[in-house]
Amino acid sequence: MIKLKENNCDSGFLEKFKNLYEAAFPLDERRDFQSVRQLLDDCKSPFDVMIFVENGEFAGFLSYWKWDDMRYFEHFAVEPSMRNGGKGAKYLRQAIADDSAPVILEVEPPVDDIARRRIGFYERNGLRLWNDLYYLQPSYGEGRKPLELKLMTIGNIVFDGENDEKILRIKRDVYGLDI
């Protein structure tokens, strides 16, 4: 596993990360890649990207935000050629074990088979679905829509409703809302 910020984005995997990031997530579910680069270049930003490598080859990534008391996993994707062999679970467990801070992530609501399988994947890897908690992912910017999503967690995290301080921190720091 390689952390891009620690390696000054010089790992040689930045372009592969960009390609998978843009292919794996629809426009409404991601920021402009120039913004991703700005976050990586800002040494004070709590944002970083883990690159997963198999036999020297780019295998996937996890973008995340790290604060003293928690982490927010923003995007996680594995190269299509490396899926369905247990690598995604392996990489997720590596990312969770990388730090003892609890984790929050967003998922699509369980309204179709793909979303239910994705939630099942995270549940099999120890995360809890907060199905009764209303959560609206703010827009990533102009031309992008907010999305109603669900939160999942691992570690000692409890939410006190949709205006919980942890949720508000994500909306402020990750999405730039003035709350």
pLDDT at 11 (0 to 100)? 65
Q: Return the ∠ at Cα 75 (arms to 77 and 59), rounded to 5°.
A: 25
Domain boundaries, the chain: 2-174
pLDDT at 9 (0 to 100)? 63
CATH superfamily of 2-174: Gcn5-related N-acetyltransferase (GNAT) (3.40.630.30)
Backbone torsions φ then ψ of 85, nearest 5 degrees: -125, 15
**How many angstroms separate the first and last alpha carbons of the chain?**
35
pLDDT at 87 (0 to 100)? 94
Q: Supply the pTM of this predicted model.
A: 0.94
| Tokens at 81, concatenated | 């050629």
pLDDT in tens, the chain (179 residues): 888 877 666 668 999 999 999 999 999 999 999 999 999 999 899 999 999 999 989 999 999 999 999 999 999 999 999 888 899 999 999 999 999 999 999 999 999 999 999 999 999 999 999 999 999 999 999 899 999 999 999 999 999 999 999 999 999 999 999 88
Answer for the pair 92, 86: CB distance below 8 angstroms, yes or no.
no
Q: Parallel, antiparallel, or unpaired: how do β-strands 128-137 and 147-154 relate?
A: antiparallel
Reference 136, options 168, 110, 165, 111; nearest CA is 168
Instruction: Say which DSSP state 10 is in.
Output: -
